[in-house]
Amino acid sequence: MNEFNLELNKNISIQNRLDNLAMIIDEAHQVIAAQLGVARTEVAFMRNGTEANNNVNNGQLLQPTDEVVLWAQNHPTNHQAWYIRQAQTPFVIHDIPANLNGAITDEEIVAQFVNEVNENTKFLTFSHLSNVSGLLLPAEQICRAVHSVNPDCHVHVDGAMTWGCMNLNLAQMDCDSYSASAHKWFLGPKETGLFYMKLSRIPNFTPNTFGYDPMIVVPEELYTDARRFELLGQRADPSLMCLLCTAEIMEDIGFQSIEDRVRYLGTIVFDGFSGFDFPMTTPSDVNQRLGVVIGGVDPDWGANLYNYLYDTHRIAVASTSGIRASPHICNIPDQLQSMLDAIEEYIGLYPPPPPPETVIYSKW
């Protein structure tokens, strides 16, 4: 990033940007699209997953009878954003409860979504991997089941917690669009993100922003491929160029190897949290979890633990839904054991309060 920034600042000419930098950015598009099993023409680079999500919920005019199916565990940019849109132009929202009405098996979970779909359903959208429970939804089964009921329903998957830690094939998943941020599991540059949409669906959407493309050209008509969503004007070229660097490193490691490693490290954390008798919000089924592991401890106690780990041991976790650890390939088991030892130390100093009678996600 520093080298690319220096190169750009030495020569900020349009010639340099188009003849040199743009070529690297275009190669990044091609490499990342291939990694996801889709066409280059179906992938746009965003500033983050938020911008990608808003291309979906702000991309079509909806009628009062149109219906949108959400999951209560969706990220706010793919949940509250729909309600903001509804307040401007009324339509119907079906919000599936966080606990999926008690559904546990993949078949039961798929049924929760499909049961909400009818001929009026225009959108159905969910987080592939929840950051508030650690539940990994069976995305391919949901997408295919929804399309079998209503082929015209647009299924959008928020992949903020799966791009970069999972071996993905979006064509096989059969989602109509997919969003993610590069700075999370992809370990890429900040303020870059991914937006995939099936080529056949793109003409149905108006871009959230209209500017010019990376070639400094204002198109006379909207593109019919993913460039339609990338008309964002002046951007940080070095960040986009670094997407190629990251993609090449991740590919050298291998996405299946990355996924296997994340599952292995996540299980270390899950077993450790379970050993503390934390009420787990993350499923015990290894097929329904990945690298997001959450102990549903008392929120105040968890927030204090979160601060203690960082202030005392410089261990960074999150306090989402209690206490959350998300180990990635940059971590090793010894580091996770250090975290578990520090938690045990904290428990010795400040025993956790008894768990509440009802835990929000205890059914998992």
- Residue 296: which of 268, 317, 313, 274 has the closest Cα? 274
CATH for 255-349?
Answer: 3.90.1150.10
**Residue-level pLDDT at 357:** 59
Query: Above 50 in pLDDT, residue 289?
Result: yes
Residue 362 has pLDDT above 70, yes or no: no
Q: Per-residue confidence at 285, pLDDT binned at 50, 70, 90? A: very high
What average pLDDT score do residues 294-321 get?
Answer: 96
299-315: b (≥16 Cβ within 10 Å) or e: eebbeebbebbeeeeeb
- How confident is residue 198, by pLDDT bands cut at 50, 70 and 90? very high
What pLDDT, in 10s, does the model give residues 323-352? 999 999 999 999 999 999 999 999 999 999
CA distance 72 to 91: 17
pLDDT of residue 364: 37
**pLDDT tens per residue across span 132-181:** 999 999 999 999 999 999 999 999 999 999 999 999 999 999 999 999 99
- Is the pLDDT at 121 greater than 90? The verdict is yes
Domain 2-253 indexed as CATH 3.40.640.10:
yes
Whether the CB-CB separation of 231 and 51 falls below 8 Å is answered with no
- Give the model's pLDDT for residue 213: 81
Helix ranges, 254-298 (H): 255-275
Q: To the nearest whole percent, how much of the chain has pLDDT over 70?
A: 97
How far is the C-alpha of 269 from the C-alpha of 264, rounded, in Å?
A: 9
The 10s digit of each residue's pLDDT in 207-247 is: 988 988 877 788 888 999 999 999 998 888 999 999 999 99
Looking at per-residue pLDDT, the higher value among 13 and 144 belongs to: 144
Using only the alpha carbons of the chain, give its radius of gyration. 21
Residue 280 pLDDT > 90: yes
pLDDT band at 20 (very low <50, low <70, confident <90, very high): confident
Q: What is the pLDDT of residue 356?
A: 61
- Give residue-wise pLDDT tens across range 60-113: 999 999 999 999 999 999 999 999 999 999 999 999 999 999 999 999 999 999
Question: In this model, does residue 361 exceed pLDDT 80?
Answer: no
Q: 185-189, 215-219, 261-265 — which is least confidently predicted?
A: 215-219
- What pLDDT does 363 receive? 37
Beta strands in 118-207 (DSSP E): 121-127, 154-158, 177-181, 193-197
**pLDDT, average across residues 111-116:** 98
Map tokens 């391919």 to a residue: 140
pLDDT value of residue 186: 98
Strand ranges inside the chain, DSSP E: 43-46, 67-71, 92-96, 121-127, 154-158, 177-181, 193-197, 293-295, 323-325
Domains 2-253 and 255-349 share a fold: no
**Domain range annotation of the chain:** 2-253, 255-349
Mean pLDDT score of the chain: 94
- What pLDDT is recorded for position 25? 94
